[in-house]
Chains A and B, each alone.
Chain A
Amino acid sequence: MVGTPVLFIVIPLLAAFIIPLTGMVWKNSVRIIPGLVLSYMLALSVSLMWHITETGTVVEVIAGWKPPIGINLVFSPFSGFLATLMIFLGLLVWAYSYKFKRNVDSEPALKYFILLMLLVTGSVGIVLTGDIFNMFVFIEIVGISGYGLTSFYTRRDSAEAAFKYLFMGSIASTFLLLAIMIIYSQLGTLNIAEIADKMPMMSNKLKVISLIFFILAIGIEAEIFPLNGWAPDVYTQAPGPIGAAFAGIVVKSAIYASVRLVYTMFDLSGALDLFIVIGLITFIVAETTALRQERLKRMLAYSSIGQMGLVMVAFGIGTKEGIFAALFLIFNHAIIKSLLFFSGSYLVYNKKNKFIKHVNGMGKYLPITSILFTIGAFAIIGLPPFAGFWSKLAILTAAADSKMLMLIAIILTVSILEAVYYLRVINRIYFFPKKKSTEAKKPTLNALIVMISLGIIIMVIGFYPDLITGIIDRAATDLMDKTGYIKDILTINN
């Protein structure tokens, strides 16, 4: 074992404090140290994942205060899986953007990697923490670094997008605090496990209100309809890799939070149906909206929102198969959408507006990037033998096992739309003539390596999904086991 879960929080925060200082001495440390930190975190999380297969969930108590009074971090198969995935993606984003804006000595470029690191840290914190107020703090960390990254380009549009995000984010914070207050006033505790334990004591009315406030607050971060208005702007205005970070890291942590609420904390029966309804509406609205988008990143953003809706639907099915499918989809979406954001931003690199029509004819000039984008698109449509197929099959199987035939029909119908807009882009890449005014920008070596390794992961998972299904299966079992979670935390003795 390399360390304990608390290091996930401590190390990056410490690094974030130190980096500006070392940056004064050695400029490159600004980009190198975050990478080192993220690599360490990845090593840590992988070794912890290894560790918990033998010993079971690791619960870390901070500062010696035992739960329910103290703050605790829980590294279970479920949260560990998500944390590892996020850190891995964070590392990829770091590697991809390592040479990013290298020659610009501007303020944002200096802060970029620190903010990225904090974004990952915050998200990992949300996933690992066992305390809702602590969760609130991490959500704020994520939000603040997100605002900073969105306004990276210091343009009018970026500032506007960041402001919208901030605006919605503050609404989220308000309602989150309100919800926490209600719970604290009723149950006198902030520990998730204890809340879950005591939940039957709370009056139904307050339970519902606090849940609704929670859903509103977390829904804004999770980009559910109609709370996701900020998201397309942010994805479009933030740098390409940050789009991947949002889709792969931030949203996943918000989904985690909402799932934790519904599966562990609250015992309301209708919450899962609400998940299905909200998820489905999000899915439908996002996919239909994506169909007529003119900007590539906006299209990818809506696609991402749609996929998240599908994840919520899968969680809403409520069976173990459903959770398995949702986690599988989260994993696939993380790698595939990152690849799409990574390669997509090179396809429209030299254009300010990043319209879809700017990818015309790029297949000839950027062959590898184009093929990788195509693989990503095929995978996200769910074509075999790419990774996306297996998660789609898992969701549909789960829905069928729960006898939700209409749900299957709707998901499949909307998936056709998804295929349409992705294929339109691919057709443009390969079969439309390139305009003279657009110039192709060759990807840098580090970006290329990152993209190719993502492509390889997609192919490998596509041909051999068993690599990942075992871990996901354990994670799904873990989430279903509510009493086990409570017991793990409340009976801790160290």
Chain B
Amino acid sequence: MESLLMNILGAVTTFLLAFAVGMTYGGLRRKIVARVQNRYGPPFYQNFIDAFKLYSKSTAIHHGAMHFLGPAFIMVSSVVSLMFIPVLTNNQWFPNLNFQGDLIFLIYIMVFGPLGMALGAGQTGNPNSAIGVTRGLSQMVGFEIPWVMALIALMVQYKTTSITGLLDIQVQSGHWFMFENPFAFSAAILASLGMFRYSPFDIVGAPTELASGPMSENGGKFLFVMMSSGSVFAFVKLTLIVDLFMGGASNLIILVIKTFLLYMIPVTYGIVSPRYRTEQSITYFWGWPLFFGLIAIIYAVFF
């Protein structure tokens, strides 16, 4: 009973941590983008204010059951994938469900969210939502391929599919996989550009064109749940890459530094790139990223 309680407590703490970190990163991004564009920009804690505002709003209308469940689906995806990722190298702090699943499972649970939200967006009947969803799903097929190839390269190289297993190998040997298999790292980073859906891959929710796409019919608590899910999910992605390629983090400060540095890659790439059309972004992911993925697998098999 005691341990179960501890587990739940640990899970909630992890969630809060992820929420806080993700929100802060989001705010910082807004600030950085604004400064680059020579605007003043909102304060870095603006996201917290927005979230609080959204949370306190009451919802006036809804479009049916799936409209309610869509945000719940996407939250499941974020939280469950968070549960399966070792946050720190010594797992005592946030053990959660680390040993119960592996990378393949993680890949699948990570796509669970977008699909669930797509259902919610579908029921609203807003054509913009559906258009956004089709774009988002198409793009997802694009970036998942190099992403999976990068992961397969790691699994093959180290003969394990478990996240904790891969992390332990790095901790014990002291070598980071981003140097052991740089091609896999490149493929993964390029694929992660698509996962964050920042420019140039932001056609999914293009505000000027699609009225925020899938999210367009959501307000109040719906949007709050989506927003927090997005923040948690950003944390999940960053931590996962840190765990897989950068030897994890032994304490929270190192984790924050590593993840923030990683986070800057999509952010800065986005600032300097104009938006791609959907088919362009798909062909982008099936160009160099796919090639790196291929090289990564070959490297893993033969070296």
A and B touch in the complex (CB under 8 A): no
Give A contacts to B, CB under 8 Å. none
Give B contacts to A, CB under 8 Å. none
